[in-house]
Chains A and B, each alone.
Chain A
Amino acid sequence: MLSVITFLPLLVCAVLLLWPRALGDRAYVWVWIVTAAVDLALVVTVWAGFDQTGGTQYQQRVRWIPSAGVSYHVGVDGLSLPLVALTCLLFLAVAVYSLKERRRVRSYVCLFLFLQTVGLGLFVALDLILFFVFFDLSIVGMFFVIAGWGHGERARAAALKFFLYTFIGSLALLLGFIGLYLAAAPHTFDIVDLTSSNPLAGRGLYAGLVLLAIGVGLAVKTPTVPFHTWLPPAHTDAPAAGSAILAGILLKMGTYGFVRIAMPLLPGSWRHYALVVVVVGAVSVVYGALVALAQTDFKRMIAYTSVNHMGYIVLAVGAAGSLAGSDAQARSLAVTGAVTQMVSHGLITGALFLLSGVLYDRGRTYAIDAYSGLAAHTPRFAGITAVAAFASLGIPGFSGFIAEFQIFTGSLASQAIATAIAVTGILITAALFLRALRTMFLGVPRLPRTIPAGGISDLSGTEAVPTVALMAVALVIGIAPRWLLDVIEPASRTLTGLVAR
């Protein structure tokens, strides 16, 4: 079942490439929309059949490279299922948004179908090499999206920077994986086996170095300060759909790696170096928010808020490794908050990046100062952007609050000072979003000169449907989160138990 979900987009991609006759632009996108919808429906059936207390389910294990201890091993648990669902939902939203794409549509659709397989494959992978393959392929796919459909010459430079920087990260990750492989007896890359055998228990420096390699690899992808500087140019110059996927799915590959690999496979080192993780998280929160506050470019500002939002996750997973002063409930709450934040950030920031694409489409610039009083011309666009901005700054009623409240409440017991510092992040993000909203949408209407004399049009259907749908899901999670938390919480408890052993 999981393999079908994972490889369906790739199969459709192959069919589209081999199809003898050229189709219309919209036909390609419709094929993509149908594929994404079918995939989402399949995930919904998986969710419906998921036993919340049953651990890892829908497992499938096939021999792949037995001599090297590598197998094709997939499965989902409470940590990965929400992200699998998020991937399908976000790709569907992006597919609908892409109905207006007119440039080399077949390649564009194929690239995104490929990226969907890569994203899904990574979240269901239970083998380190399988995980690594998808981790690396995501960089390849996104490189072509940014370089091919981004904003001109700068996009190619940004794509190159993105590729090289994150590629170095994945090399570090591979080094760490090999370190784990060599320590295990018998040698294996299987995540389930490595989790149960805990091969690096009591291995001191060696375990620390393996954690360092894996941690750096994941920190580059997440990204955390100071490994984040590939993110702003990649986002700013990527097409809106690419940015949404980059922020919504690719960044989660880093944070998901912490809860799937770093914490359960290296529990001893994780506890030992938890303070380092917490400090990196708190610094990312405040630093990301402050740098975002100083931005004058709307999309770049949102990119930096991603650093801030990912910082909360890193803070929470670090706090979940600090046993002193906290009980199991607090640590499990922090992990649940972290996973909720992954989903929430994908929904909200995905929507914000799609909306920034609308902004660029109308005014050909992201400069905040170039606009004023847009709400007079585009009330729907202003309204949905304001809702998304408030959701992103963590207002209750949307998923961001559900995530951040759990993170703060779960982390304060063991890491009081870092958490108290990190809490100021929600105030700084409030300030920066309100300032951007006020400058661009409120006040006296004034448009940039780049807008043609015909004026500016409000959100079209293909722009409104995906953004409203994403915000609607964020709203449902914000008001009635139990259906999501019921899936995550057992897995969080298992994970905190694994870390504490």
Chain B
Amino acid sequence: MSALVWLLTGLPLGAGAVLGVTGTRCNRLVPVLGTAVALVTFGVACAAAVARPAASAPLFAGMRAGLAVDGLSAVMVVTVAAVTTAVLAFAAGEFAQDENRGRFFGLMLLFAGSMLVTVTATTLPLLLMAWEAMGATSWALIGYWWRQPERAYAADVAFLTTRTADLGLYLAAGAAMAGGVGSLRLDLLPRAASPWLHLITAGVVVAALGKSAQLPFSFWLSRAMQGPSPVSALLHSATMVAAGAYLLLRLHPLLAATSWAGPLVAWAGALTALALGVVAVAQRDLKQLLAASTSAQIGFMVLAAGSGGVAAGTTQLVAHAATKSGLFVAAGAWLTALGTKQLPALRGAARRYRLVGAAFTVSALTLAGLPPLSLWAAKDEVLAAAGGESTALYAVGLAAAAVAAVYSIKGLWYVTRSLPDDPESGYDTERHGTRNIARTTPAPLLALTFAAAVLGVLALPGPASWLKRLVGSPGEPSPQPWELALSAGVAFASAALAWREATHPASVPRTVVRWTQGWLHLERAAQAVVVRPVMGLARALAVFDDRVVDGAVRQTARGGLAAARLAGRVDDGGIDAAVSAVAAGVRGLGRWARRPQTGLLHQYYAQAAVGFAVLVLIILLVR
């Protein structure tokens, strides 16, 4: 039984590692192999969702690496594996013959495999390992076209931003150890002793908000758009950004154990849903619009997690995963065909490629929250949970839902216009378009769109209570009929308004446009507040290290040499000079003593006489 969960995680990770090192050697075969592995993984995930396997292995002293598929994990593994399969099937037609497909498909499988470990891990060390491995593979995927410097830079921004937040999980692990949860099991974390409990919660919340691109970390998601379209389709739906929301849903008991974490998380989600929704409205690039909308839609999941709506958040996660991956597949197909993702240039794209256009329309209407499509029902589940916490949260959430209708309809409006007279003039701004949709696109696109449309059944009374039991949160509130009607009305009204607004644009203050188009200048703020001071400090410390620390060493060495020279001088000019002086004195005395030795007898007589006289004189004086 436990073999199933090892297979579920080991298959994509192992196959991904193998495919990754094949490089361009098996370019024809790799897409098929990659998709096949994803498909088998999907099968294993379905089996695991039924069989609910659990396994663990020793990792550190007193800590195990545990994997288990419980209710919440069952939903997640099926979602992750399904979206991965669809996206890889789509990606098979997205790359030119000479591109390194082995690297791409290998990394995608590693990326998805990491997410599968994340959503099945039962202990913090293993979760953190998968969490960070997912970040590293996202770096390699976003920077896949590494010859273009801006894409490589975007990968760095995405990785460093998410890793900044990941530090929270490292601290949470240490705090759990300090708080008496030596096993670091996720289900035991809420039992940690105070004040460590608060540190664990804070670390988890920061890490989750960072990974999920919530405020104030949202900007990395804009940069992540530099990756190939299939990467966006996977990263924005069932993996990476979904991981943060999943973690908060998984650790909801931890949030509940502190009084502040739930409201904080709920408000962070609600405000992100509103603010990034407005950012999405302002975008003129389809992929940027979808990216901002991802932040906003994940905001609803975070809002649900903060207000105790585990089943609601899960429904939103699954429905959004299908919707958003479908939208990115459609946007990616147009980008490949037409070479552009600018909204004005994409006018009429839906009419030119009708199948993609139809799928995009359904998914966009789902994203808008229009009934009876899935996100309408899911969002109402979330709002019901939020309303149980506070009316203000409900109101902000409803406003965010209205904004969601506006940006979705805005995107839809552009692509469903009639083709302009000279459509070609706007094409090929990003790359050289192929002018046709790859054969591999329709099947996954239709599957994802179908799922997006119908997953709303999860919010029907029967399935909803099944899901609540499944994720272990049976007491969650369900939306009242009036709430459903209200949100439907709000969605329709906003959609109608957005359609009219798109046809007859009103003037908006330029500052507002600049701020919202620039993702609230969050990246600029991070540059100013964190990056530049740290770089300045680093340069200053490097100079300090060279001049002061090493300078002191050099001065000491110089001091040693100077002391040696001084000692040398003292030795030469003092001690040795004194010795020489003594010698010279003795030599002088010797010279003096030689003077009388003339060899002339009369002089000796004279000397003897003088000596005798002196002796007599002394004797006379002394006596």
Question: Which of B26-34, B169-177, B354-362, B573-581 is found at the contact surface with chain A?
Answer: B169-177
Please report the C-alpha to C-alpha distance between residue A294 and residue B133 in the assembled complex, in whole angstroms: 26
A34, CB-defined interface residue at 8 Å: no
User: In angstroms, how far is the closest chain B Cβ from the Cβ of A117?
Assistant: 30
**B167 nearest CB across to chain A (Å):** 5
Taking each of B132, B541, B545, B557, which has the highest tally of chain A beta carbons within 10 Å of its own beta carbon?
B545
Interface status of B538 (Cβ within 8 A of chain A):
yes
Please, which residues of chain A bring their CB within 8 A of the CB of B60?
A: 333, 336, 405-406, 409, 481, 485
User: Quick check: which of A89-97, A104-112, A285-293 contacts chain B, the rest being far away?
Assistant: A285-293
Which residue of the partner chain, among B23, B129, B534, B552, contacts A428 with CB atoms under 8 Å? B534
Minimal Cβ-Cβ distance residue in A for B180: A327
Please, how many angstroms separate the alpha-carbon atoms of A438 and B150 in the complex? 10
**Which residue of B has the minimal Cβ distance to A422?**
B170
**With an 8 A cutoff between CB atoms, is B246 at the interface?**
no
Knowing A330-B178, A427-B164, the reply to whether A396 touches B132 (Cβ < 8 A) is yes
B173 touches A438 (CB 8 A): no
Contact of B549 among A226, A405, A442 (CB under 8 A): A226
Write out the residue numbers on chain B whose beta carbons fall within 8 Å of the beta carbon of A438: 149, 152-153, 156
**B159 contacts A444, C-beta separation under 8 Å:** no
A182 contacts partner chain B, Cβ-Cβ < 8 Å: no
- Name A490's closest neighbour in chain B (CB-CB): B61
Does A290 contact B538, Cβ atoms closer than 8 Å? yes
Assess whether A444 is in contact with B147, with CB atoms less than 8 Å apart.
yes
Interface residues of A in 276-310 (CB under 8 A from B): 287, 290-291, 293-295
- The reply on B143 being an interface residue by CB < 8 A is yes
With most chain B CB atoms within 10 A of its CB, the pick from A330, A405, A428, A435 is A405
Whether A416 is near chain B, meaning CB under 8 Å from some CB there, is yes
Of residues 480 through 501 on chain A, the ones whose CB sits less than 8 Å from some CB of chain B are 481-482, 485, 489, 492
Question: For the complex, is B462 an interface residue (Cβ under 8 Å from A)?
Answer: no
The yes or no answer to B58 lying at the interface (CB within 8 A) is: yes
Does chain B have a CB within 8 A of A354?
Answer: no
- Alpha-carbon separation in the docked complex, A434 to B149 (Å): 13
CA distance A294 to B539 in the complex (A): 5
B6 CB, min distance to chain A CBs, angstroms: 13
Task: Establish whether residues B136 and A409, one from each chain, have CB atoms under 8 Å apart when the complex forms.
Answer: no
With A and B bound together, what is the CA distance between A482 and B557 in angstroms?
A: 47
Is B143 touching A482 in the complex (CB atoms < 8 A)? Answer: no
Q: Are B160 and A431 in contact (CB-based, < 8 A)?
A: yes
Which residue from chain B places its CB closest to the CB of A425 in the assembled complex?
Answer: B167
A412 touches B178 (CB 8 A): yes
| Nearest CB of chain A from residue B195's CB, rounded to whole Å | 10
- A254-290 vs B, CB cutoff 8 Å, 1 = contact: the mask equals 0000000000000000000000000000000001001
Q: Which of A329, A424, A434 contacts B182 (CB 8 A)?
A: A329
- The yes or no answer to B486 lying at the interface (CB within 8 A) is no
Q: Is the CB of A416 within 8 A of B541?
A: no
| Residues in A neighbouring B173, C-beta threshold 8 A | 405, 408-409
Residues of B within 8 A of A209 (CB): none
Which B residues, 507 to 543, have Cβ-Cβ distances below 8 Å to chain A? Answer: 534-535, 537-539, 541-542
Query: For chains A and B in complex, what number of residue pairs have CB atoms within 8 angstroms?
Result: 152
Could you mark each residue 416-427 of chain A with 1 if its beta carbon is under 8 Å from any beta carbon of chain B, else 0?
A: 100110011011
Chain B residues with CB under 8 A of A412: 171, 174-175, 177-178
Give the number of residues in A that approach B within 8 Å (Cβ atoms).
Answer: 62
Does residue B163 face the partner (Cβ distance < 8 Å to A)?
yes
Whether the pair A427, B539 counts as a contact (CB closer than 8 A) is no
Given contacts A329-B182, A397-B133, contact A294 B177 (CB under 8 A): no
User: Contacts A164-B557, A290-B541, A401-B132; is A416 near B147 (CB within 8 Å)?
Assistant: no
Which of B61, B147, B552 contacts A376, CB < 8 Å?
B147
A427-B167, A489-B61 given; A291·B174 CB < 8 A: no
The residue in chain B whose Cβ has the minimal distance to the Cβ of A336 is B61
Please name all residues of chain B whose beta carbon is closer than 8 Å to the beta carbon of A481 when the two chains form the complex: 59-60
The answer to whether A329 touches B159 (Cβ under 8 A) is no
Rounded to whole angstroms, the CA-CA distance of A329 and B177 in the bound complex is: 9
Contact of B550 with A by CB under 8 A: yes
Residue pair A409, B177 in contact (C-beta under 8 Å): yes
Residues of chain A contacted by B164 (CB below 8 angstroms): 427
A420 touches B159 (CB 8 A): no
Which A residues, 382 to 440, have Cβ-Cβ distances below 8 Å to chain B? 390, 395-397, 401, 405-406, 408-413, 416, 419-420, 423-424, 426-428, 430-431, 434-435, 438
- Residue-wise, chain A 77-106 has the 8 Å CB interface mask toward B (1 for contact) of 000000000000000000000000000000
In the bound complex, CA of A254 to CA of B343 (Å): 61
Q: Which residues of A contact B58 (CB under 8 A)?
A: 482
The answer to whether the Cβ of A239 comes within 8 Å of any Cβ in the partner chain is: no
Q: Tell me the bound Cα distance from A245 to B610 in angstroms.
A: 87
Q: How large is the interface on B (under 10, 10 to 19, 20 to 34, 35 or more residues)?
A: 35 or more
CB of A332 within 8 A of chain B? yes
Give, as a whole number of angstroms, the nearest-CB distance from A309 to chain B: 16
Give complex CA distance A376, B557 in Å.
46
Interface assignment of A452: CB less than 8 Å from any CB of chain B: no
- Of all chain B residues, which has the CB nearest A488? B61
Within the assembled complex, what's the spacing in Å between the Cα atoms of A126 and B537? 44
Cross-chain contact of B128 among A287, A396, A420 (Cβ < 8 A)? A396
- A375 touches B (CB below 8 Å): yes
Chain B residues 59 to 81 lying within 8 A of chain A, measured CB to CB, are 59-62
Find residues 121-165 in chain B having any chain A CB closer than 8 Å to their own CB. 125, 128-130, 132-133, 136, 139, 143, 146-149, 152-153, 155-156, 159-160, 163-164
Query: Which B residue sits closest to A327, measured CB to CB?
Result: B182
> Is the pair B538, A443 in contact by a Cβ cutoff of 8 Å?
no
Residues of A within 8 A of B552 (CB): 226
Q: Which residues of A contact B557 (CB under 8 A)?
A: 161, 164
Contacts of B156 in A (CB 8 A): 431, 434-435, 438
Q: Mark B85-103, 1 if CB is under 8 A from A, else 0.
A: 0000000000000000000
Q: Are B61 and A420 in contact (CB under 8 A)?
A: no
Distance in Å from the Cβ of A399 to the closest Cβ of chain B?
12
User: How many Å from the CB of B512 to the closest CB on chain A?
Assistant: 33
A229 within 8 A of B: yes
Does the CB pair B167–A424 fall under 8 Å? yes
Does any Cβ of A come within 8 Å of B553's Cβ? Answer: yes
Bound-complex Cα distance A397 to B140 (A): 15
Q: Which residues of A contact B128 (CB under 8 A)?
A: 396, 405
Among A409, A413, A442, point to the contact of B146 (Cβ < 8 A). A442
* Shortest Cβ distance from residue A332 to the other chain B in the assembled complex, whole angstroms: 6
A336–B125 alpha-carbon span in the complex (Å): 16
| Cβ contact within 8 Å between B177 and A430 | no
Q: Are B174 and A413 in contact, with the CB atoms below 8 A? A: yes
Q: For A287, list chain B residues within 8 Å (CB).
A: 541, 545
Q: Which residue in chain A gives the minimum CB-CB distance to B164? A: A427
User: Is B61's CB under 8 angstroms from A332's CB?
Assistant: yes
Contact with A along B546-582 (1 / 0, CB 8 A): 0001101100010000000000000000000000000
Interface contact B146-A294, CB-CB below 8 Å:
no
Q: Which of B146, B163, B177, B549 contacts A427 (CB 8 A)?
A: B163
- The verdict on A434 contacting B125 (CB below 8 Å), with A291-B541, A397-B133, A408-B170 known, is no
* 28 A–B contacts, CB within 8 A, in A order: A226-B549, A228-B549, A229-B549, A229-B553, A287-B541, A291-B541, A291-B542, A294-B538, A330-B182, A332-B61, A333-B62, A376-B147, A395-B132, A401-B132, A405-B60, A409-B60, A409-B174, A409-B177, A416-B178, A416-B199, A423-B167, A424-B167, A426-B167, A430-B163, A431-B160, A434-B159, A438-B153, A443-B149
12 new A-B contacts at CB < 8 Å, known A396-B129, A409-B177, A438-B152: A290-B538, A333-B61, A376-B147, A395-B136, A405-B125, A408-B173, A412-B175, A416-B174, A420-B171, A434-B156, A445-B147, A485-B60
- Give 10 closest A-B pairs by Cβ, nearest first: A412-B174, A413-B178, A396-B129, A294-B542, A229-B550, A442-B152, A293-B538, A294-B538, A442-B146, A443-B149
Chain A contacts to B: CB under 8 angstroms: 161, 164-165, 225-226, 228-230, 287, 290-291, 293-295, 325-327, 329-330, 332-333, 336, 373, 375-376, 379, 390, 395-397, 401, 405-406, 408-413, 416, 419-420, 423-424, 426-428, 430-431, 434-435, 438, 441-445, 481-482, 485, 489, 492
